[in-house]
Amino acid sequence: MSIRRPPARLAGPNIVILPADALVHRVHARNYGADHFNPCQGAPTRFAPVHDAEGNCVPSLYAADTLKAAVYETIFHDIPVTARRRTVPRTLVQSRAHGQLQIRRGLQLASLRGPDLRQWRISRNSLITTSPSLYRDTALWAAAIHHQFPDVEGLLWTSNQCDPDTAYLFFGDRVAAEDFNLVQARDGMVDPSFLADVRQTGRRSGISITV
């Protein structure tokens, strides 16, 4: 399968304002802060890495509007739907942390929900539900939006792993750590409530946490 490359000129995206005081959840490596932007390190993701027109890294921060979506998009992300044994080792949960962030100002986000994508003649199946093998292609669309629309500060879409919840990506050259207030921080290594929440979230899909 291949994904159509974004055109040189995209129609203006439909903008959603994530308002001040909105709360988002982030599950992240415990050696980073909840408001830490990824500086184009690690394996490709659906909409990162992105580089600006001069080739500079655009740091990124993923989040979700619910904790369960954040868990499904990270800890449970790589469990195949067809897997007979759906388990996650406790050590993986303990290597993660949960941060709840409060937005300090309204953020302008390009909506990538199905109806919004239709104006660009690309489907949700082509952009949101594709396999990781196509992440370099899907990230080209994030780059095109970033390059062509300087007022866009990030993206939102319906979570592929936990619909109908919302996933977010914030562009680190337009959104800063100072745009968030840290409301809650839980280290998976030392806070048993995070492990308990992950275990409860997994029961919905028959996913268990092993010792």
Q: What are the 10-residue block averages of pLDDT along the chain, 211 residues in total?
A: 88 98 97 96 94 94 98 94 89 97 98 97 93 93 97 97 97 98 97 97 95 83
> Is there a domain that residue 94 lies in?
yes
In a domain, 75, yes or no: yes
Q: Per the domain annotation, does 154 fall within a domain?
A: yes
Residue 126 domain-assigned (yes or no): yes
For the chain, give the longest Cα–Cα distance: 51
Name the pTM for this structure: 0.95
Q: Which residue has the tokens 């959840």?
A: 25
- Residue 5, φ and ψ in degrees, nearest 5: -70, 150
* Residue at 50 is within a domain: yes
What tokens were used for 133?
């093998």
Task: Kindly report each contact of residues 144-149 with a partner whose C-beta sits within 8 Å and lies 24 or more positions away, as own/partner.
Answer: 144/6, 144/7, 144/10, 145/6, 145/10, 145/13, 145/110, 146/50, 146/52, 146/58, 146/171, 147/52, 147/53, 148/9, 148/10, 149/10, 149/12, 149/13, 149/110
**Which pLDDT score is estimated for 121?**
95
Domain that holds residue 198: 15-57+66-210
Is position 19 within any domain? yes
In-domain check, residue 199 = yes
Give the pLDDT confidence score for residue 85 in this predicted structure. 86
Pairing of strands 57-58, 166-171: unpaired
What pLDDT is attached to residue 80?
84
Residue 60: the pLDDT is 98
Give the pLDDT score at 100: 98
**Buried b / exposed e across 21-56, counting CB within 10 Å, b at 16+?**
eeebbbbbebeeebbbbbebeeebbbbbbbeeeeee
- The answer to whether residue 95 is domain-embedded is yes
Count of the separate structural domains present in the chain? 1
